[in-house]
Amino acid sequence: SYPLDKLAQAGARASVLDTEYFEQTCQQVIDLRHSLTAELKALGFEVLPSQANFVFARPHDGDAIGIASALREQGIIVRHFDTPRIQEYLRITVGTAEQHQRLITALKELAAQ
Give the domains, in start order, of the chain with CATH numbers: 6-112 (3.90.1150.10)
pLDDT at position 1: 56
Closest CA to 64 of 46, 87, 45, 83: 87
Q: How distant, in Å, are the alpha carbons of 30, 31, 55, 91 from that of 50?
A: 10, 12, 6, 11
Mean pLDDT value across the chain = 93
CA distance 56 to 108: 18
Q: 57-88: string of b/e by CB count within 10 Å (b at 16+)? A: bbbeeeebeebbebbeeeebebebeeeeebeb
69 versus 11: the higher-pLDDT residue is 69
Q: What are the pLDDT digits (tens) for 15-38?
A: 778 889 889 999 999 999 999 999
